[in-house]
Amino acid sequence: MGERWWLGADNPWQCLAACVEVRNALASGDPENYFSSLPVHQDGSCNGLQHYAALGRDESGGRAVNLVPIEQPSDVYTGIAQLVAARVEEDALQGNVQAQKLLKEVDRKLVKQTVMTSVYGVTFVGAREQITSRLKERGWRAEDDIYKTACYAARITLDSLHTMFSSAKHIMNWLTECAHLVASNGKPVAWTTPLGLPVVQPYRHRERHSVKTVLQRLIIVENSERLPLALARQRSAFPPNYIHSIDSTHMMMTATECYHQGLSFAGVHDSFWTHAGTVDAMNTILREKFVELHGYPLLESLLHEFQSELPHVAFPKVPQTGTLNLGLVRSSPYFFS
pLDDT in tens, 15-54: 999 999 999 999 999 998 898 888 999 999 889 999 999 9
**Region for 213 from its dihedrals, namely left if φ exceeds 0, alpha if ψ lies in -120 to 50, beta otherwise:** beta
Residue 43 bears catalytic tag: yes
Residue 122, SS3?
A: coil
Phi and psi at residue 268, to the nearest 5°: -135, 110
Exactly one of 43, 107, 145, 187 is catalytic; name it. 43
Ordered DSSP codes for 5-74: GGGGSSSHHHHHHHHHHHHHHHHTS-GGG-----EEEEEBSSHHHHHHHHHTT-HHHHHHTT-S--SS--
- pLDDT the model gives residue 176: 96
pLDDT tens for 179-228 read 999 999 999 999 999 999 999 999 998 777 788 888 888 888 777 788 88
* Count of residues making up the chain: 337
Exactly one of 58, 75, 247, 270 is catalytic; name it. 270
The rounded distance, in Å, linking the Cα atoms of 143 and 74 is 35
- pTM as predicted: 0.88
Residue 270 bears catalytic tag: yes
pLDDT tens for 50-72 read 999 999 999 999 999 999 999 99
Residue 87, SS3?
A: helix
Exactly one of 58, 75, 91, 112 is catalytic; name it. 112
CA neighbor of 81 nearest in space, from 170, 153, 180: 153
Core vs surface per residue 121-160: b (16+ CB within 10 A) or e: bbeeebbbebbbebbeeeebeeeeebeebbbbbbebbbeb
pLDDT tens for 276-285 read 889 999 999 9
Residue 136 bears catalytic tag: no
To 10 degrees, what angle do helices 166-184 and 231-260 make? Answer: 120
Q: What percent of the chain has pLDDT over 70?
A: 99
pLDDT tens for 130-161 read 999 999 999 999 999 999 999 999 999 999 99
pLDDT of 100 above 60: yes
Chain-centroid distance of CA 182 in Å reads 24
